[in-house]
Structure 1
Amino acid sequence: MVNFWRNIHRRPLQLLLQELDERGISAEHLVAGRIKKFDTIVDKLTRRNAIANLAAMDDIAGCRIVVPDLGRQAALCDALYEVPECDTAWSDRHDYIGSPKESGYRGRHLLFRYQDPRHGYALPIELQVRTEHQHAWATAVEMYDEVAADRLKFGEGQSQADRFFRRISVVMRQLEERGRVEPSSIRSLDDGTDGLQAALDILRMLSAASQSVYVLGGGKEVAPESYCLVDFDPAEQVVELTEVCPEVALETYFASEDDPDREGHNFVLLRGATLDKLKDLYPNYFGDISRFVTIFNDLIYKNLPAFA
């Protein structure tokens, strides 16, 4: 049943990628698309406060776009609201800029619904639009969960790390919205422990987690009009990049997903990307979040009163 549901969401992914192409969005921004993995779906259905069933899961198919700043984020979302298939009511409720999650997560999630002609379902596809700083925060949380065997991403994490990432999120929000930081509002998240020491301990843990990943086919830049298939084998720590032309991009992606010899691999389809841009979008595939550790170090040392 899960795999049937994954398979019929291929069409919404194809239609949204085409929409982004036709509107020139793919040419301006790095766009990634994927179908949620089987194991990830099962985890989402069985974890604490799980959603009721597969039909209630809106992100079986998903895309992600990372933009430089809040202004670009707002402009892009306004343009996407004009797409006829955009569910604006759902998208308004998932505006995590106006109303960040309790964890500190920020971003804009937009939902598009495409009618499935064969089965009669209105199938959703979720598009995440993040700024570079919002993406840095979210990726660092994912990496911390991997290193510490924690579940901060799902609101089930340790209190010390949770407070650290909520503080960082508030710092980023104030800088993006006001251009300055108010230390008193950051310190209000403290629980009486040494916030600065906790922050430095977590940063050291993230820095130490970087590991070497072997990259195949990453030596050249993919043409803007072409697609890049990313095949990440976690067991072997190998990332393989293959350039594919637009006409067969989705067919190649789905064939790779169905390949029994590559069970357990993670696949993402990107529209034109250098290796450096790919590392920015999916640093967890490369075990390297040094860029994000640098961002956090800079934020902390420039705003020591907020953490002391």
Structure 2
Amino acid sequence: MKKWVVPEHSNKAVQRASRTIGRGTGTPEEVQAARAVLSNYRLAHAFPLNAVTVTVRQRALDVNPNAVVAERRKRLPTILDKLRRHPTMSVTTMQDLGGCRVVFHSVAEVEKLVAILRDLPRSKNRVKKVYDYLRDDPGPRDSGYRGVHLVYEYGASKKEYKGLRIELQVRTLLQHAWATAVETMDLFSGSELKYGKGDPDVLRFFVLVASLMAHEEGTAPVPGAEGSTEELAAELMRLEMDVGVLERLRGYASIVGEHARTDRRNTLTLELWRSEGILTVTVHETLADAEARITELEAMDDEDLDAVLINIARISQLRDAYPNYFADTGRFTDFVESRI
């Protein structure tokens, strides 16, 4: 039987810990204590995340039996970095400490699942907000990111978790390929394209690809890239000649290795050492073992290490759910090459 982590601190204590990290003014002891508070709060999202994922998985597989469904806890270094970038923020307002992801083949499948989940009767874990980055509410981000996000609030039987929020991302294969390529660039090069930072030509490259994908899928284009497919492709070709994004992505793919391919439900950790290009996938027998390992890795505070805890129904789908850790951007590069 799983032993779920419960929140051990009040919201006010979590908010104080967030400020300690965000402002960067605490003593080493105060910073360490703040990290421990935030780590507990993050890990306490595992139970509500599991509760939401059970419902989402069932409904997603009803829409398409081949849908990829996975869940993950937000990495502690990512949380700490966000607090430093936004010193007035508290993790109690973050909606994605626990995240579930569904990847479908088509926009129609994405929209069908979203419609089902929004109107699910008798669900105590309520959808509080829907962000449609495909059409009009709010539409594609300026960066080119596309997909649909649903924010859940836990409200079922376990009172200690009430009010904790979980984010569901629903994407098509193309939308997932785009996001994966951006994350792979950031993961292996140390850039921050995901946050709109970096070489303007590389950022523009991804905006153009996103708009071409939107044309392909019949959804709204990215702001600032509303031209015809011919105009977008011509600009994209010029940028590729200048900055060589595809060449870089192919270079990162050299680290891809073979990993376990069983078909039972697995909790695992991924450890990527960027400079050596070494990826280790460890399957854990219990959630507690996985949480202990991820806590140990994050305590190293090494910028060269990227570690994440993942729960997935079939490990054979791991590469489909998190291809950025395998530098697997084949679908993205194939799409771009077919357009330029």
TM-score by length of 2: 0.72
Question: Which amino acid letter does the alignment assign opposite residue 115 of structure 1?
Answer: G
Task: Indicate conservation of the 8 Å contact 2:128/2:152, yes or no.
Answer: no
SS in 1 for 2:255: coil
Partner of 1:125: 166
Cα RMSD, aligned residues only: 3.0
User: What displacement does 1:30 show?
Assistant: 1.7
SS in 1 for 2:153: strand
Partner of 1:97: 134
Gaps of 5+ in 1: 245-251, 302-308
Given candidates 10, 26, 35, the residue that maps to 2:73 is 35
Partner of 1:151: 192
Mapped partners of 1:133, 1:51: distance in 2: 35
Q: 1:184 to 1:10 in 2, by over 3 A?
A: closer
User: What displacement does 1:290 show?
Assistant: 2.9
Partner of 2:106: 69
Mapped partners of 2:107, 2:87: distance in 1: 31
Mapped partners of 2:142, 2:216: distance in 1: 19
Partner of 1:54: 91
SS in 2 for 1:130: strand
Given candidates 320, 325, 328, the residue that maps to 1:288 is 328
Task: Indicate conservation of the 8 Å contact 1:253/1:267, yes or no.
Answer: no
SS in 1 for 2:132: coil
User: What displacement does 1:69 show?
Assistant: 0.7
Residue 78, structure 1, aligned to residue 115, structure 2 = yes
Task: Indicate conservation of the 8 Å contact 1:143/1:284, yes or no.
Answer: yes
User: What displacement does 1:89 show?
Assistant: 5.2
Question: Which amino acid letter does the alignment assign opposite residue 7 of structure 1?
Answer: L
Mapped partners of 1:286, 1:40: distance in 2: 19
Task: Indicate conservation of the 8 Å contact 1:33/1:270, yes or no.
Answer: yes
Given candidates 290, 307, 310, the residue that maps to 1:256 is 290
Question: Which amino acid letter does the alignment assign opposite residue 20 of structure 1?
Answer: V
* Partner deviation per Cα, 1:71-96 (whole Å, 9 max, x = no partner): 001001111112334655521xx110
* Partner deviation per Cα, 1:20-59 (whole Å, 9 max, x = no partner): 3554638552211111111111112222x57721111000
Partner of 1:304: none
**Counterparts in 2 of 1:88-237, with a 5 A limit?**
88=127, 90-91=129-130, 94-98=131-135, 99-115=139-155, 117-119=158-160, 121-177=162-218, 184-185=227-228, 195-200=236-241, 201-218=244-261, 221-222=262-263, 226-235=264-273, 237=278
Task: Indicate conservation of the 8 Å contact 1:151/1:157, yes or no.
Answer: yes
Mapped partners of 1:185, 1:90: distance in 2: 33
Question: Which amino acid letter does the alignment assign opposite residue 296 of structure 1?
Answer: V
Mapped partners of 2:318, 2:282: distance in 1: 10
SS in 2 for 1:102: coil
Mapped partners of 1:89, 1:119: distance in 2: 19
Partner of 2:82: 44
Task: Indicate conservation of the 8 Å contact 2:52/2:125, yes or no.
Answer: no
Mapped partners of 1:80, 1:139: distance in 2: 25
SS in 2 for 1:44: helix
SS in 1 for 2:50: helix
Residue 25, structure 1, aligned to residue 61, structure 2 = yes
Task: Indicate conservation of the 8 Å contact 2:100/2:168, yes or no.
Answer: yes
Residues matched between the structures, number: 278
Task: Indicate conservation of the 8 Å contact 1:229/1:242, yes or no.
Answer: yes
User: What displacement does 1:238 show?
Assistant: 3.2
SS in 2 for 1:150: coil
Mapped partners of 1:261, 1:165: distance in 2: 34
Task: Indicate conservation of the 8 Å contact 2:177/2:332, yes or no.
Answer: yes
Question: Which amino acid letter does the alignment assign opposite residue 82 of structure 2?
Answer: K
Mapped partners of 1:241, 1:81: distance in 2: 35
User: What displacement does 1:168 show?
Assistant: 0.5
Mapped partners of 1:29, 1:194: distance in 2: 34
Mapped partners of 2:60, 2:252: distance in 1: 38
TM-score by length of 1: 0.79
Partner of 1:248: none
Partner of 1:15: 51
SS in 1 for 2:150: strand
Q: 1:238 to 1:157 in 2, by over 3 A?
A: closer
